[in-house]
Amino acid sequence: MEPTTTIRSNIEDYIRKQGYTLQYFADISGVNAGTLSAIIKGTRPIAMAQLDLITQGMKLEEGHFYEIYGAECFVESAPHWRRLEPFLQRCAELDKLDCIQRVIQQVTDDRSYVSELFELAEYMLERDQKKAARMLYECVAECEKYQHSERLALCHYRIFTLSLGQDQHENLRAAVHFEPYINRLDEERQLDAIKDLANTYLALRYWDKVFELAEELDQKTKILQSYTKRKNDKSNRLTIYPLFVYRAYSNLLKSSTCERQGRYKDALKYTELYSKLAKVSEPDEEDQIYIEKFAIWTEANTYLYKLMMGDPSILPSYVKFIEKNEREVLPAMINILEMANKFGQNIDEILDKFSDQINSEIARLRGYTEQVKLDMYITFLLERSVYLLNRCEYLEGLRQLMHCLGESVKINNQTDIIHCVAIYERYRNTAIAEIEHQYKLIMMEVHKRYDKKENSLFNLA
């Protein structure tokens, strides 16, 4: 086994092999010759800026020596924050996450750096360096796991939001792990945390849990409003939105939950309530943005609930609303498809009318969280396949169903996987060989996924 080389020995070997003088390499690298000499002799530590210049001078890729640098400066010797901070920042910029992980595992023994690591994580998050930020948040959380600090709770909140992705099973695990920390957050931050948690459960279709969190959001916002005398302006507040938005949104969540449970009268009641709550006196420019959003949701959902209560006369007005609000095309089409499937209505003309906008909206899905976007897309595919199958358009209906099943498998949405399989079995006798083959391939993927999970359990044992 070859002995481990140091950065200094690498520099010295490079200069010798290239036949350079120390002064010449100093000129091409941009590092002072005296500084370079002291670095090679080991009498002066290498700063990050100098390391990057030397690496460039040696015609190596950026970050080439970071692994060795991390070991020399922070593992084999006592780390100093003045050198550690720029190292972690540069690793984040170059996506050298392994280097970050190795170093922070070593520095966790020194609890004096916990505050600095947390602040750096916040800085990285602002710069959208999410993977690196999450590593630091996890490090801080591990250091403070026996504390009951707000910082610990905030770390878990950040980890929760950074954990959310396409796998709905993993999203559920993240939600369950984070929930106990909500009440340790600052009262204002609790509002955003509850909202984010409710949105996650909404995408997972845990309707009772969504309603419970919506009620909690409503009560906590009401309490904050009761003793917040000052204008809750953006420069001084911790919440992302003005306070009135949270009470209005809590009732929007309640109405959505009632809708999914078939309680349309209750859904209308909560719609009227959030419509009133979203009206504020002397609104500023920011307030006006949310007032208009809730006005659109109020109109759209009022049409929807009346449709689902069996009033088809409202459909022309709903269509006119969609024409004026193209960003609401996809959720509106889902609603109209659900109504058509429930009451056996023919909506071919409406689907044709908005086909271009539907395709465009699927590509964008603006204004919704990532989890809600995925759930909405799959719901649309499912409802459209059911509509086509109900109208005996078996080939296209089953193609849409296979698309829906494939997307459900990708995000590990077990409820929709089961639903798609049940529908397919019902219409299996109409499937052509192409559809049957596609179905088998998708189900093989499902079996592989569960085989991996079973194997991992045996390995743990």
Q: In the 8-state DSSP scheme, what is residue 32?
A: -
What pTM was computed for the model?
0.85
Q: Is the pLDDT of residue 416 over 60?
A: yes
Angle at 109 between CA 105 and CA 111, to 5 degrees: 115
pLDDT digit string, tens, across residues 195-236: 999 999 998 999 999 999 999 999 999 999 987 655 455 667
Position 374 confidence tier, pLDDT thresholds 50, 70, 90? confident
Q: Is the pLDDT of residue 5 over 50?
A: yes
Q: How much is the pLDDT for 380?
A: 92
Q: Is the pLDDT of residue 366 over 60?
A: no
**Residue at token pair 């993993």:** 170
Q: Is the pLDDT of residue 139 over 60?
A: yes
62-93 burial code (b ≥16 CB/10 A, e <16): ebbbbebbbbbbbeeeebebebbbebbbbbbe
Closest CA to 224 of 243, 206, 209: 243
Cα separation, 152 vs 136, in Å, equals 12
Number of other CB atoms surrounding residue 340 within 10 Å: 24
Q: Is the pLDDT of residue 456 over 50?
A: no
Q: How much is the pLDDT for 372?
A: 63
Position 349 confidence tier, pLDDT thresholds 50, 70, 90? very high
Element (H, E) at 216: helix 207-227
- Collect all residues with Cβ–Cβ distance below 8 Å to 205 and sequence separation of at least 6: 260, 375, 415
pLDDT digit string, tens, across residues 335-345: 999 999 999 99
Cα separation, 305 vs 255, in Å, equals 10
pLDDT digit string, tens, across residues 387-408: 999 999 999 999 999 999 998 9
* Domain ranges (residues) in the chain: 395-461
Report which of residues 146 and 343 the model is more confident about: 343
DSSP 168-208: HHHHHHHHHHHGGGGGGS-HHHHHHHHHHHHHHHHHHT-HH
Q: Is the pLDDT of residue 373 over 80?
A: no
Question: What is the Cα gyration radius of the chain?
Answer: 29
Cα separation, 424 vs 256, in Å, equals 28
Q: Is the pLDDT of residue 367 over 60?
A: no
Angle at 236 between CA 232 and CA 238, to 5 degrees: 85
Report which of residues 366 and 314 the model is more confident about: 314
